[in-house]
Amino acid sequence: MIQVKSAAEIAKMIKAGELAARALEHAGKNARAGISTWELDRLVNEFIVSHGGHCPCKGYGGFPGHNCYSVNEELIHAIPSKKKILKEGDIVSCDIVAELNGYMGDNTKTFRIGKVSEDKERLLQATESALYKGIEQAVKGNRIGDIGYAIDSTVSGAGYFVVKQYIGHGIGKEMHEDPEVPNFGKKGRGPRLVPGMTIAIEPMVNESTENVRLLRDNWTVVEANGKMSAHFEHTVLITDDKPLILTLTSH
C-alpha cells in the first residue's frame, strides 16, 4: 500500500533527508586517494550517530557495513573494506541511508577521486542528469512510469544502459516501501503520484550492458562486462507544486 505522509511525518522526513544529505557530503569530502572504503564508512557512521541518527542498512538482510561504497565497475551494495583503497581516477558511489526519529532519508552520489577519464566523466554526467529528469516528472497527477520513462530515455540517449534488476522505492519509516520506482517504464502507466508520497529515485547505470553480476560475497553487484557504472539518488516528496528534494544539506 502506498502511504501518504502527514504534515508531521513530512517534517520528520525533511530532517532525516537533511541528515542523509549532510552525511553524503561528509563522505564526498573524505573520498580521497588513499582512504579505504571501510574508513569512509566509519567516518560516515560517526557523523550520522553524532547527529542523533543511525544507519539502518547495518544488519539489513545481514549487510555487514553501515552503508554501501561501490567503486568503478561495482554498481551497488559493495561492502566497506579495509583492503579497498581509493586511488586517483576511481569513481565511488556512496549510497547513504540515515534514520532520524523513526524516519529515513536515502541518497547516493558517484564521486570522482581526483581527475577521472573523459569516459567516466560522461557516464557520471548522464546518470546525474537522468536523476534530475526523473525528479522533474515526480509531480502530482503523473504516474510512476513517467519517472522511469524520463530516466531511461536520458540514459539510453547518452548511449548507456539502465539496470532493470534493481529499482527505486517508496521510503518513510521503512527503507523500502511501496511503490516500486523502476528506472524504466511507459509514460502514463503505473501508480498515480499524490502529494505526500515520498519516494527514492535512483538511476543505476552501466556503461556497456544492462546486465549485472552478483559477486561471491552475495552483496556486490557489478557491471556484467566489467565496465564502469554509476548511481545517483535523492529522496523526493510529491507536493501540490514542484517536487521537493528532501535529501538536501539545507532547506
Interacting residues toward Co ion by CB under 5 A: 106, 200, 202
Q: How many residues does the chain have?
A: 251
Binding of ligand MF3 by 95 (CB under 6 A): yes
Pattern 69-88, ligand MF3, x by CB under 6 A: --------x-----------
Number of residues lying near ligand MF3 (CB under 6 A)? 11
Pick from 3, 28, 63, 227 the residue near ligand MF3 by CB under 6 A.
63
Least CB distance from residue 169 to Co ion, whole Å?
Answer: 6
CA–CA gap between residue 230 and residue 228 (Å, rounded):
7
Angle at 51 between CA 50 and CA 56, to 5 degrees: 90
Pattern 98-127, ligand MF3, x by CB under 6 A: --------x---------------------
Taking CA atoms, 40 is separated from 30, 58, 68, 198, in Å, by 7, 15, 10, 28
Cell of 72: 568503478
DSSP-derived letter for residue 33 is T
Cell of 23: 552525511
DSSP secondary structure letters along 59-128: TGGG--SSSEEEETTEEE-PPP-TT-B--TT-EEEEEEEEEETTEEEEEEEEEE-SS--HHHHHHHHHHH
Q: Which stretch binds ligand MF3 (CB under 6 A): 24-32, 33-41, 60-68, 189-197?
A: 60-68
Binding of ligand MF3 by 165 (CB under 6 A): no
Which residues, at least 6 apart from 178, have a Cβ–Cβ distance to it below 8 Å? 1, 2, 3, 170, 191
Least CB distance from residue 32 to Co ion, whole Å?
Answer: 25
Binding of ligand MF3 by 57 (CB under 6 A): yes
Least CB distance from residue 27 to ligand MF3, whole Å?
Answer: 13
Q: Which stretch binds ligand MF3 (CB under 6 A): 27-35, 54-62, 86-94, 204-212?
A: 54-62
Q: Contact positions toward ligand MF3, by CB under 6 A?
A: 57, 60-61, 63, 68, 77, 95, 97, 106, 200, 202
